[in-house]
Chains A and B, each alone.
Chain A
Amino acid sequence: MPSEPLVAEHALEFPGGYTRTTGPVIGRFLTELRDGRLVGVRTADGRVLVPPLEYDPHTGEPVTGEFVPVGPAGTVRTWAWVEQPRPGHPLDRPFAWGLIDLDGADTALVHAVAVDDVKALRPGLRVRPRWRPETDRKGHITDIACFVPEVTTMVSPQRTEYRVRPGASLLRFLEGVRDGVFLAGRCATCDKVYVPYRTVCPSCGSRIEEQVELPDTGTVTTFAINNLPDPRAPEVPFVSAFILLDGADVPMIALMGDVPAHEVRQGMRVRAVWVPPEERTLSMSNIRWFAPTGEPDVTL
Chain B
Amino acid sequence: MREVAVVAFAQTRHTDHDEGLSEPELIAPVIEEVKRVSGLSRFGFTCSGSCDYLAGAPFSFVSALDAIGAWPPISESHVEMDAAWALYEAWVRLQHGDVDSALVYGFGKSSQTDVREVMTLQLDPYYLAPLGLDQVSYAALQASALGAPEAELREIARRSRADGRANPYALHLPDPTGDDPYQVRPLRSCDVAPPTDGAAAVVLAAGDLATRIAERPAWITGIAHRAEPHYLGMRDLARSASAADAGRAAGVGKGPVDVAELHTQFSHEEIILRDALGLGPDVAVNPSGGPLAANPVMATGLIRVGEAARRIMAGDAARAVGHATSGPCLQQNLVTVMEA
Taking beta carbons and an 8 Å cutoff, which residues of A are in contact with B? 5, 10-12, 18, 20, 22, 26, 30, 49-51, 53, 57-58, 77-83, 86-90, 97, 99-100, 107-112, 118, 140-142
Residue in contact with B125 in the complex, picked from A20, A51, A77, CB distance below 8 Å: A20
- Asked whether A99 and B132 contact (CB < 8 A) given A53-B231, A81-B185, A141-B127, the answer is no
- Can you offer 6 A-B residue contacts whose CB atoms are under 8 A? A11-B56, A50-B233, A57-B235, A89-B134, A97-B137, A110-B127
- Asked whether A88 and B117 contact (CB < 8 A) given A12-B56, A78-B237, A99-B237, the answer is yes
- Asked whether A57 and B229 contact (CB < 8 A) given A18-B125, A81-B185, the answer is yes
Residue in contact with A57 in the complex, picked from B130, B132, B144, B234, CB distance below 8 Å: B234
Q: Specify the main secondary structure of chain B where it touches its partner.
A: mixed
Q: Are B141 and A49 in contact (CB under 8 A)?
A: no
Q: Are B185 and A97 in contact (CB under 8 A)?
A: no
Q: Are B141 and A107 in contact (CB under 8 A)?
A: no
Q: Are B131 and A141 in contact (CB under 8 A)?
A: yes
Question: A10 contacts which chain B residues (CB < 8 A)?
Answer: 56
Q: Report if B140 contacts A (CB, 8 A).
A: yes
- Residue-wise interface mask of B (130-155) relative to A, using a CB-CB cutoff of 8 A (1 in contact, 0 not): 11111001101101110000000000
Chain A nearest CB: distance from B128 CB in Å?
6
Residue in contact with B144 in the complex, picked from A30, A80, A87, CB distance below 8 Å: A80
- Asked whether A107 and B126 contact (CB < 8 A) given A80-B140, A80-B141, the answer is no
**A18→B129 CA distance, assembly (Å):** 12
Q: Are B131 and A80 in contact (CB under 8 A)?
A: no
Q: Are A110 and B128 in contact (CB under 8 A)?
A: yes
**Contact size range, B:** 35 or more
Q: How many A-B residue pairs have CB under 8 A?
A: 107
Residue in contact with A86 in the complex, picked from B57, B116, B138, B228, CB distance below 8 Å: B116
Which A-B residue pairs are the 9 nearest by beta carbons? A88-B132, A108-B233, A80-B140, A57-B229, A81-B185, A12-B56, A78-B145, A107-B234, A80-B141
Q: Report if B20 contacts A (CB, 8 A).
A: yes
- Asked whether A80 and B143 contact (CB < 8 A) given A11-B56, A110-B128, A141-B126, the answer is yes
Q: Are A81 and B145 in contact (CB under 8 A)?
A: no
- Asked whether A118 and B233 contact (CB < 8 A) given A89-B132, A99-B141, the answer is no
Residue in contact with A99 in the complex, picked from B117, B181, B185, B232, CB distance below 8 Å: B232
**A30→B242 CA distance, assembly (Å):** 30
Of B53, B131, B186, B228, most buried by chain A (CB within 10 Å of CB) is: B131
